[in-house]
Amino acid sequence: MGKLTEKQKRFIDFYIETGNGAEAARRAGYSEKVARQSAGKILASPRIASAIAARLKEIEDKRIAKAKEVMEFLTSSMRGEIKEEAVVVEGVGDGCSAARIIEKQIGANDRIKAAVQLAKRYGLDRPEDADGEAHITFKFERGGDDGN
């Protein structure tokens, strides 16, 4: 397969952005008449179709979390390294109150859920000793002043 022209590359980018062949052709620099008439032919071209598929795969690969990233997130969550926002309402005097957003550690329940997911991943949710019974022990330490 030959190389794509600059106009074809622009068409591919705009098609991925808009999902509309005629619009992509117009924005890529094709004339209005050609854009309407030829968008289907351009999309049917094997070179264009394979380039679009490759580009979509590349975008997908960047956007979808890999196993390592998921494991790192679960580990950070379990350790309480992940923060979340919470709204607190405080009295400001004269019977009035004001809301503000604070950042705090995720709660114990979310940390436990992350630990359970990690345990499942590593098979720690089903260890068996010599008598065939499963025993699981989780040790959680409380940290910080905010009760989490």
Q: What tens digit of pLDDT does each residue of 113-142 get?
A: 999 999 888 888 775 655 656 666 777 777
The predicted pLDDT at position 98 comes to 94
Task: Tell me the mean pLDDT in the region 62-72.
Answer: 87
Distance CA 15, CA 22 (A): 9
Could you state, in order of their start, the residue ranges of all structural domains in the chain? 6-63, 67-121
Residue 107: pLDDT above 70?
yes
Minimum mean pLDDT range among 35-39, 72-76, 118-122, 130-134:
130-134
Say if CB 1 and CB 50 are below 8 A apart.
yes
The CATH number of 6-63 is 1.10.10.1400
Q: Is the pTM of this model over 0.75?
A: no
